[in-house]
Structure 1
């Protein structure tokens, strides 16, 4: 997790958190490994590296499971005050999830967690080599520009930038204070600047 932020004499002014959330990646892994056909505005492209179909999950990939995946995904994108990032993978209590989706999660969670942990190790290795997402410094630069234009400190905000290991240069504003971006876009300075600038200006102005 990377944090950047600004300070005023009275304390924190703004904060941006850049992270790869386990819950979102696991949900996408289950979608891809089961071959779920889902339709939702903010569903990202397929994972990268690509995930093979899992026969045990394909057997559980019912229409009911696909339909339940969509509201589950939107629930994971919600930023609730009690969570610093995205909500946990499953609600409490667990039985609130529809039975077909619960069965899919129960079967596919170990492989999804292993895949997620492998991507986190890759990111840690990149950090050790000095490679950081372009999104981290870009937010601060945009805030500085806004403050110079306005002649005052940025309005307080708390922006969550979720980096997802999905294909292509892809990004979406999922909520007013939550942005989804692919790994490739996170590393592409001009591309991530184009996505983040209107978001940060909206929050900081």
Structure 2
């Protein structure tokens, strides 16, 4: 986790293990385009499986999509304190039987995949700290303060970094951004997505 801040404002960048698990389950279930906003598929790619037999008596794929989208919305609202699933019965998904079945079928592989991604993120974040890769966040705020001729208003901004194939970001109003964990490597592209949000908040 990285924190950047000044008087009254704070920007946090981190990943989220429960949300990594959710994205794995989305892709293994073949729920392309699910969620609002519809994030790109993860990288490395997760191979989709057919769950029509598994979920046929609890609403099938349409129910699975609706349930995943409802769960994802809860996770996004809760970030950065998104709750983890409780194996092996996943009571958190008790009202979402199709999703609960898919979670039971793939939880071990989802947990392993998410753990590897979280470990990779931790190494990348440590390297950024060493190299000063996060300075751009403070610079965006400071540049906006100079343009306005005043200090930033009080605000918090949480940036969720997840391994998405598409190198871009999605603004979730009023104070969250979901972005590809590789986006900060291209500071021009990063600024093109994040600067308008910072300008609005400052």
Question: TM-score by structure 2 length?
Answer: 0.83
- Per the TM alignment, residue 178 of structure 1 is displaced from its structure 2 partner at its CA by 0.4
Closer, same or farther: CA 188–34 of 1 in aligned 2, 3 Å: same
Match of 2:140?
142
- Structure 2: runs of 5 or more not aligned: none
- Per the TM alignment, residue 197 of structure 1 is displaced from its structure 2 partner at its CA by 0.7
- Per the TM alignment, residue 104 of structure 1 is displaced from its structure 2 partner at its CA by 1.6
2:15 is equivalent to residue 20 of structure 1: yes
Equivalents in 2 of 1:99, 1:118: separation in Å?
28
Equivalents in 2 of 1:53, 1:167: separation in Å?
15
Q: Is the Cα–Cα contact under 8 Å of residues 76 and 82 in structure 2 kept in the other structure?
A: yes
- Per the TM alignment, residue 150 of structure 1 is displaced from its structure 2 partner at its CA by 2.5
Which range moves more in the overlay, 13-22 or 119-128? Answer: 119-128
Closer, same or farther: CA 135–200 of 1 in aligned 2, 3 Å: farther
Equivalents in 1 of 2:177, 2:120: separation in Å?
22
2:43 is equivalent to residue 48 of structure 1: yes
- Per the TM alignment, residue 46 of structure 1 is displaced from its structure 2 partner at its CA by 1.0
Match of 1:78?
77
- Structure 1: runs of 5 or more not aligned: 8-12
Q: Is the Cα–Cα contact under 8 Å of residues 174 and 180 in structure 1 kept in the other structure?
A: yes
Equivalents in 2 of 1:178, 1:102: separation in Å?
27
Q: Is the Cα–Cα contact under 8 Å of residues 15 and 121 in structure 2 kept in the other structure?
A: no
Match of 1:5?
5
Question: TM-score by structure 1 length?
Answer: 0.82
Equivalents in 2 of 1:143, 1:154: separation in Å?
7
* Matched pairs, number: 193
